[in-house]
Structure 1
């Protein structure tokens, strides 16, 4: 188990139990107590937990794991999905991305495409304009000179780093997108794409509505499930990019007219 996988597991155990003992955690992770102490010290520096004598305690605030820790799950599948999504992008396109670990992989794949990065646009024009309400995506890609980053503004959601609220809606109401790449907590052939947070779903729905083409990116564990707040109905989805883990569930989307790419 690598460092980030350990951090992810420790945070999940802490969320479940409220407190962790170093020796108990070391036994569960099959690592030394010294390794667990170093991991807990690092996570405490990131203000993700409170160190105690002999262990750690959860913060009193309520938040989910930041994306950099959640991204260890199904990372290979998400990277393949990100690469397939990035292949749809053409020079001078305006693309939109919401927050999430899968859309972060889309952003990275777009940013590292050699044909976009190596050939500058006319008169210094950006190769791609990227509109996002995700703080982590904007932060990561802001150093890429060939990508113009447009953020929505709004109130930051600590669970996803997404900006939501009236300010985000105002900016999105003024832009037009060639493609919106939307990640979702659940994608069902009957119910469409949905999110756990109604605030995020509202902004994601507007992001999708401002695009000429809507591409939903979701690993196969999300297919055939539903979350609290709908982002869009199935018939609004042009393309679904997923992995090969659930071919039967993916075929149900094709039956409803959605173009499905499995990678």
Structure 2
């Protein structure tokens, strides 16, 4: 098994290097490197070597693996982010962000689902974790799942007792969703018990917001199909106000988020009659992160 290089002796405690990287698996280490490049926009091999206390040979190998997976773009002497500042990161990159929070939120979300329910799992990395958290007793219990996410459909393909309805249309790779007139036509006349959606932003003034203008008109159609709308979102989205408003707060019934959410925001939602579920996120040494197979070589 590949091992990271031990940090040199004599480093100061205030160093930005991460000696703990030597305890990470290659998959976990590459996830951390990918996020570092995404946050910086660009990083050299030397900078990443100092940051993670790794040899330049190891860094170059990791960057090559990440580039093959489409998570970074190799440049002279280093790598650059695949999306620029203020642009939406790729779907694979977003899967790496706040994963512990997303998994805790997902576990709470499945508690709202009963055997035999008809649920709509919209696209997005948090909703993907909801799909992954569905227990066998639900998947074997006559559940119907509607989705416009290719990744969620792929996750649920192995459960023949779950009726899977995939809404097709024009596929948008960066968001892993289908959009367009075909989706809108399929939504007309449909009825589900619960719609689970993620969000790019959530504010008291404008409700649920997104930067994805291609799909913004779909959300009110989806909401009209549902007995209840549940927003699943980690606390980093709270207070963000993105380009397009997709649902007002009075169009959703519940929010599931983590315990880093501002208390005043939670209280304001509850005062408006929304159900708010706050899940604790236990601090750990580092999350287990999913990396595409071709980045784990």
**TM superposition score category, shorter chain reference:** 0.7 to 0.9
2:79 & 2:237 partners in 1: Cα distance?
A: 32
**How far apart are residue 58 of structure 1 and its match?**
6.1
Gaps of 5+ in 2: 1-20, 22-27, 280-297
CA contact under 8 A between 1:188 and 1:224: conserved in structure 2? yes
**How far apart are residue 238 of structure 1 and its match?**
0.8
1:27 & 1:70 partners in 2: Cα distance?
A: 25
Q: For residue 51 of structure 2, what is the aligned residue in structure 1? A: 28
Q: For residue 63 of structure 2, what is the aligned residue in structure 1? A: 40
* C-alpha distance after superposition, 1:96-117 (max 9, x if no partner): 122222111111112xx14224
Match of 1:138 among 149, 153, 170: 153
Taking a change above 3 Å as real, the CA distance of residues 30 and 158 of structure 1, as seen in their structure-2 partners, is farther
CA contact under 8 A between 1:97 and 1:182: conserved in structure 2? yes
**How far apart are residue 202 of structure 1 and its match?**
1.8
2:162 & 2:33 partners in 1: Cα distance?
A: 34
Q: For residue 34 of structure 2, what is the aligned residue in structure 1? A: 7
Q: Which has the higher contact order (CA 8 A, sep 6+)?
A: 2
CA contact under 8 A between 2:101 and 2:258: conserved in structure 1? yes
**How far apart are residue 260 of structure 1 and its match?**
1.0
CA contact under 8 A between 1:116 and 1:146: conserved in structure 2? no
CA contact under 8 A between 1:82 and 1:105: conserved in structure 2? yes
1:68 & 1:47 partners in 2: Cα distance?
A: 8
SS of alignment partner, residue 83 of structure 1? helix
1:108 & 1:66 partners in 2: Cα distance?
A: 20
TM-score (norm 1): 0.85
TM-score (norm 2): 0.76
1:78 correspondence with 2:102: yes
1:180 & 1:164 partners in 2: Cα distance?
A: 17
Q: For residue 124 of structure 1, what is the aligned residue in structure 2? A: none
Which protein has the larger Cα radius of gyration, Structure 1 or Structure 2? 2
1:92 correspondence with 2:116: yes
Matches within 5 A, 1:222-233: 222-233=237-248
Gaps of 5+ in 1: 122-126
1:11 & 1:224 partners in 2: Cα distance?
A: 22
1:153 & 1:138 partners in 2: Cα distance?
A: 11
How many residues are matched? 250
**How far apart are residue 7 of structure 1 and its match?**
2.2
Match of 2:274 among 241, 258, 261: 258
Q: For residue 235 of structure 1, what is the aligned residue in structure 2? A: 250
Matches within 5 A, 1:110-125: 110=134, 113-117=135-139, 120-121=140-141
RMSD: 2.4
**In proportion to residue count, which structure has more helix?**
1
